[in-house]
Amino acid sequence: MGVSEETTAPESTGISRRAFFGGAVASAAAGAAAGITTTGLASTAANAGPAAVSASDSAYDFYGPHQAGIRTPPQDHLVLMVFDVTTTSAAELQVMLAKWSAAIAQYTGGLAVGAVEPERDLAVPGDTGEAEGMGPNQLTVTLGFAPSMFDDRFGWKPHRPAALVDIPAFASDALTPGYTGGDICVQACASDPQVAYHAIRNLARMARTTAATRYVVQGFGRASAGAGQTTPRNLMGFKDGTRNITTDDDFEKFVWVGDDADQQWMIGGSYLVTRKIHMLIETWDADFIGDQHAVFGRTKVQGAPLGGAHEFDTPDFAAKAADGSPVIPATSHVALAAHENNGGVKILRRGYNFTDGIDSVGRLDAGLMFISYQKDPAQFVALQSKLGASDRLNEYIRHVGSGVFAVPPGLSGAGDYFGKALFGA
């Protein structure tokens, strides 16, 4: 196994760099010393010494105990595609998943699948080519199966984990079928949007006789923070991701499916929840700052909990103002979502901002592609039951899409593929 994000620097960047070096000797020596691998994407003059490693040269290992793209510090760009499987043949599905798995291993290493420029004039290019020579760009591709995959079509019914059930309806939901449901979710994240899009586009191309695209969301400006990252802002202007899961203990406790799983194939996996959340931006932009603070329970510029001074101050939910009211309003977003007020429940948030231009009446069509990972979707359901009913933020948002997916553990190496344990039992 190469260097995984867990072994490299979990509390800092978590990046396994596949730098290219000037010569084979430098490459081998430096690689052996640091446990890094090279992409071989580009060559520089022999003996020129190590080249600077840019984001475009660095890669995350695809193989490992967990899929990359969960604990991986969020890259800047997301392309999320949800597929409906159109074939009813288990064998065709198996071939598609095996092809995808091999292809993702190539793409995350910065390589194409098939020739971009075949030698024969009449040959169709195997790869679409828009990421040619761009490098891995920290690409991760993470895949999950919806509850619908465990119906009668593919013989997977006996393998359905008990936790994998559709997300229930919540008060204030405004879901649309176009952004809800689906069979397979593929989350591609990268430091370059074109690299993420290239991976998704080519997977869709490969699957064109077995699966159809249900929807795609392009995300930017990660709206969550991983270990060692500064906290980004969401489109409402607030720091998002301040209190997120970062430690090994919390990943074991709240994110990774453990040895006690009812379905062994899910050990080391997780559950992905997606919510496409539209923001009523014009309404929000007309709101006064005191109300904006009360909506989140935090200040806008610092991101400090109300009553605190700094971003990482622990919120004091018991603090009272002179008039006896809570300093952090009880129906503020953080008061309702904090683990202190939810029996200790936490989730890993890994969302992205999105924009779809303008809507049919000329309003900005934008919001948060909310993505969370948890060892049981019930963790999300517990939080959203409260948020959906009482969150002051609901005046400014609409949940328009929803999905839940079982995310298997990482693949062990070449020849392993997503869903392998689910066929033929």
Contact between 397 and ligand L6N33NVT by CB under 6 A: the answer reads yes
Two tokens at 297?
A: 């329970």
Contact between 333 and ligand L6N33NVT by CB under 6 A: the answer reads yes
Residue 63 CA to residue 74 CA, distance in Å, equals: 18
Conformational region of residue 135, where left means phi above 0, alpha means psi within -120 to 50, and beta covers everything else: left
Q: Which of 387, 404, 411, 422 binds ligand L6N33NVT (CB under 6 A)?
A: 387
Q: How far is CA 229 from CA 10, 350, 357, 397, in A?
A: 11, 13, 29, 26
Cβ atoms of residues 94 and 207 within 8 Å: no
Q: Which of 17, 275, 276, 375 binds ligand L6N33NVT (CB under 6 A)?
A: 275
- Cβ neighbour number for residue 341 with a 10 Å cutoff: 16
The helix-helix angle for 90-108 and 193-206 (nearest 10°) equals 160
Q: How far is CA 334 from CA 100, 299, 368, in A?
A: 39, 12, 16
Q: Which region among 132-140, 163-171, 191-199, 231-239 touches ligand L6N33NVT (by CB under 6 A)?
A: 231-239
For ligand L6N33NVT, the closer of residues 226 and 241 by Cβ is 241
| Angle ∠(128,134,136) on CA atoms, nearest 5 | 100
Q: Which of 18, 66, 77, 243 binds ligand L6N33NVT (CB under 6 A)?
A: 243
Two tokens at 140?
A: 């991760």
Contact between 402 and ligand L6N33NVT by CB under 6 A: the answer reads no
Contact between 383 and ligand L6N33NVT by CB under 6 A: the answer reads yes
Cβ atoms of residues 266 and 144 within 8 Å: no
Contact between 296 and ligand L6N33NVT by CB under 6 A: the answer reads yes
Contact between 334 and ligand L6N33NVT by CB under 6 A: the answer reads yes
Q: Which of 77, 159, 298, 350 binds ligand L6N33NVT (CB under 6 A)?
A: 298
Cβ atoms of residues 365 and 355 within 8 Å: yes
Q: Which of 187, 210, 384, 402 binds ligand L6N33NVT (CB under 6 A)?
A: 384
Q: Which of 156, 238, 256, 405 binds ligand L6N33NVT (CB under 6 A)?
A: 238
Contact between 83 and ligand L6N33NVT by CB under 6 A: the answer reads no
Residues that bind ligand L6N33NVT in the complex, under the rule CB under 6 A: 234, 236, 238-243, 275, 277, 279, 296, 298, 315, 333-334, 337-339, 347, 367-368, 370, 380, 383-384, 387, 397
